[in-house]
Amino acid sequence: MYQKAFLFNGIGPNYEKLLAKLTPELTEQFAVLYAAACERLHLNRDIQKNTGYDAKIAEWLVPFICDRIIYEFCLSRNILPDIGIGYSSGIVSASACFGAIRHEEAWDIVMTHRSMLRMLDQQNIELDTGIIIGFSYNDLTELFRNTFSPEELVIGSSNSSFHIMISGKASAVEKAIELCTAEGALKAFRLHTGTAFHHAMMQNYSYEYIQYCKQIAYHKPEYPMLSVFDGNILETAEDIAGENQRNVYTQMRWDLALKKLESLGVTEFFDMSASGSLSRFSRVGRKCRIYTFEDICS
C-alpha cells in the first residue's frame, strides 16, 4: 500500500551541524525562511545574538526550517512520500510540510515552548533527558522497575532494539546513566536539555503549547501520517490535531512505528534531517533502506 516514508526530525540535533550540511542553494533558501520566522517571532536572525529563552527558541527553529527545505527539495526531484512520520517535534514539521497546518503556525508552536522554559525556571524544576545505547526497551524496563518511579523517570522513546531515550528528573537521569554504565551499556550520557519531553509531567508545564495546538485550524494532510504513539494511520484533520496536542508529554515508540511502516509495505525511508540524525539510530529490515540528504543529493 505504501512504499516511501518520509521521516521528520525532532528538535535535538545541533543546529550548526544541520546548517553545515546544506548546499549553497539550500543555505540561501534557509536564510530567507529563517529571517521570516525570526521577524514573526521577534527574534534576531543572527542566532548567537539571541539571549535568555530566545536563544533556545532561535536554535529550536533551525531543524523546522531545514526539514522544510529538504522536503521541498525532494519534491523538486520527484521524490514523493506515500506516508510520513515525525520524531517528537518532527510531528509538527510533518504536519506543516504535508499541509495540515501552515508553516507559520509551526513556528508559533516552537515559540510556545518559551513559557515552558520560563515556568520550569520559576519553579526551580530540574529536568533532563539521556541516551542509553546497548539495552532494549524490555531490558531497561526491567532494570528501572525497582529503582525509579514513573514520576521520576520513563523511557521517553524506544528508538531501536539498542537505542533508548530516557526522560525525567535530572537527578534520576543521572542515576540511571550511572546504573546503565555499571550494567555494561555501550554508551550512556545525559543530554542536558533542561526539559523532559515525552514524560507525563510535561503536561503541567506546556499549557500554552497545548492550548495553541487546540485552537489552530487543521486540514486534511496531503499525505497520511503514522502515529509514533499508537501506530494508527492519521488521515484527517482531527487525527493530526490529536497527534500534535499530545506530543510533548506522551511516550513514543519509534521502533514499533518503523516496524509498522514496514508491515504496510514501506521499503524506502527518507530522512528529512540535514545531518541524517534519524538514520543513525533507526533500524529497519534488510530489505529496506534509509536514504539521507547526502544520498538524495548524489
Question: Please, are residues 59 and 67 in contact by the beta-carbon 8 Å criterion?
Answer: no
In a domain, 97, yes or no: yes
Same domain membership, residue 85 and residue 232 = yes
**Predicted local confidence at residue 296, as pLDDT:** 92
Same domain membership, residue 138 and residue 93 = no
Same domain membership, residue 148 and residue 118 = no
**Predicted local confidence at residue 298, as pLDDT:** 82
**Predicted local confidence at residue 179, as pLDDT:** 97
Q: Which of 146, 164, 190 is the last residue of a domain?
A: 190
Q: Which three cell numbers stand for residue 175?
A: 542515576
Q: What is the largest CA-CA distance in the chain?
A: 53
Same domain membership, residue 237 and residue 111 = yes
Edge-to-edge strand list for the sheet holding 153-158 = 153-158, 163-169, 127-133, 187-190
Same domain membership, residue 142 and residue 23 = no
What CATH number is given to the structural domain containing 73? 3.40.366.10
Could you tell me how far CA 227 lies from the centroid of its own chain? Answer: 13
Sign of CA dihedral 214, 54, 89, 138: negative
Same domain membership, residue 142 and residue 250 = no
Q: What is the extent of the structural domain holding 145?
A: 127-190
In a domain, 197, yes or no: no
Same domain membership, residue 94 and residue 153 = no
**Predicted local confidence at residue 204, as pLDDT:** 95
Q: Which residue has the cell 509495505?
A: 265
In a domain, 156, yes or no: yes
**Residues contacting residue 73 through CB under 8 Å, at least 6 positions apart:** 26, 296
Question: Please, are residues 137 and 155 in contact by the beta-carbon 8 Å criterion?
Answer: yes
Q: Which three cell numbers stand for residue 290?
A: 534509509
Same domain membership, residue 212 and residue 80 = yes
| Residue ranges in the chain assigned as alpha helix (H) | 15-21, 24-41, 52-76, 90-97, 103-122, 137-144, 170-182, 207-215, 237-245, 254-263, 277-281, 293-297
Same domain membership, residue 114 and residue 17 = yes
Q: Which of 190, 225, 244 is the last residue of a domain?
A: 190
In a domain, 196, yes or no: no
Beta bridge partners of 252: 157
Same domain membership, residue 132 and residue 67 = no
Same domain membership, residue 178 and residue 60 = no
**Predicted local confidence at residue 199, as pLDDT:** 98
**Predicted local confidence at residue 294, as pLDDT:** 93
Q: Which of 190, 224, 240 is the last residue of a domain?
A: 190
Give the angle 273-214-124 at the CA atoms, nearest 5°.
Answer: 75
Query: Looking at the 3D structure of the chain, how many domains does it have?
Result: 2
What CATH number is given to the structural domain containing 183? 3.30.70.250
Same domain membership, residue 239 and residue 156 = no
In a domain, 241, yes or no: yes
- pLDDT averaged per 10 residues, the chain (length 298): 93 82 95 97 96 95 95 97 97 98 97 96 96 96 96 97 97 98 97 95 96 97 98 98 96 97 98 92 94 92
**Predicted local confidence at residue 78, as pLDDT:** 96
Task: Compute the distance between CA of residue 143 and CA of residue 5 in angstroms, rounded to an integer.
Answer: 34
Strands 268-271 and 4-8: parallel
Nearest CA-CA partner of 240 in 258, 223, 220: 220
Q: Which residue has the cell 526522560?
A: 167
In a domain, 49, yes or no: yes
In a domain, 198, yes or no: no
In a domain, 118, yes or no: yes
**Predicted local confidence at residue 261, as pLDDT:** 98
